[in-house]
Homo-oligomer: A and B are copies of this chain.
Amino acid sequence: MLILNKIADIRRWVREKRMKGLQVGLVPTMGSLHEGHLSLVRAARQENDLVVMSIFVNPLQFGPQEDYATYPRDLARDACLAEEAGADVIFAPEVEEMYPYYPQYTTVEVAQITKRLCGAARPGHFTGVATVVTKLFQIVLPDKAYFGQKDYQQVQVIKRMVADLNFPIAIRMVPITRESDGLAMSSRNTYLSPEERQEALCLSASLRICQALFAKGERNAACLLEAMRERIKQEPAAVIDYLEIDDATTLEPLAVIERPVVVALAVKIGKTRLLDNILLNTETETEAVAETEVVAETEAKVKIKAESDGHKDV
């Protein structure tokens, strides 16, 4: 697997390919890859001639009390997984390469939507995300970029940034990949003890309760949230950071579900903060979060299917 560490090198590599008219998909990650990341690579593989994966644990998006130092890193393992899933090259820069003047830095500030949910709990987080994504976009110059729905607010922040700043890049959101018992895949799941791992199921379980009530016709947000809260309370180690039903685009809370919404929650299980969400739409069928229906290990069930046969050798 080709791994490039320098901005000049990945630029040159991509430029040569682009001059042949090839389409480039970018999958930005912080490494510690799981099946969720690989579903992004497969989605990119389907729609592009070339797939670039970036692996960079971005210090700018971690708060001073957060897990930047301990965030899991294993480039050799990640490279194998990315290659198997169909990535063509990995861009894995050092911090000094990305931020030579750190912490003095130009930042990208996305208004409004960054202030709530994870933005309220993690001040500066989305500034770090928007800034590093801008840099990666300018370095790689992809046609399309792929982000996971698990970090739903992040996707909306990036979509807003791309629209506001006119980046000529299409943003694709790929559905959440779940463990067989429903837990949304996350690099931070490795922090969980066996007991916590069990308690962590309350996130997806509460979303299933919400989904079932919604399917029966419940449209009152307070009722839905209360039912979810009851389920989460059953776990002694679970502390809700936020639990909201918001407009799917603006992320403003809604009292009654009359248009597409995201049901989003962040819950601390011991010291580990986990996210999950589901989209509800009054007009279309909602996605499935039931454990019997979403089995991440079975590739056929991954929402955006990979067609590794379509992998062009360039």
Contacts and interface: CB of A to CB of B under 8 A. Distances in A.
A7 interface: yes
Contact of A7 (B104, B109, B130, B166): B166
A168 interface: yes
16 contacts: A11-B168, A104-B111, A105-B111, A105-B164, A106-B108, A106-B161, A106-B164, A107-B108, A107-B109, A107-B111, A108-B109, A135-B164, A135-B165, A135-B166, A138-B167, A138-B168
B164 A101 contact: yes
Nearest to A103: B111
A155 to B, nearest CB: 15
A161 B160 CA distance: 20
Nearest to A160: B106
Interface of A: 7, 11, 101, 104-112, 130-131, 134-135, 138-139, 141, 160-161, 164-168
A262 to B, nearest CB: 19
Given A106-B111, A134-B165, A135-B164, 12 more contacts: A11-B168, A104-B111, A104-B112, A106-B161, A106-B165, A107-B108, A107-B109, A108-B108, A135-B165, A138-B167, A138-B168, A141-B168
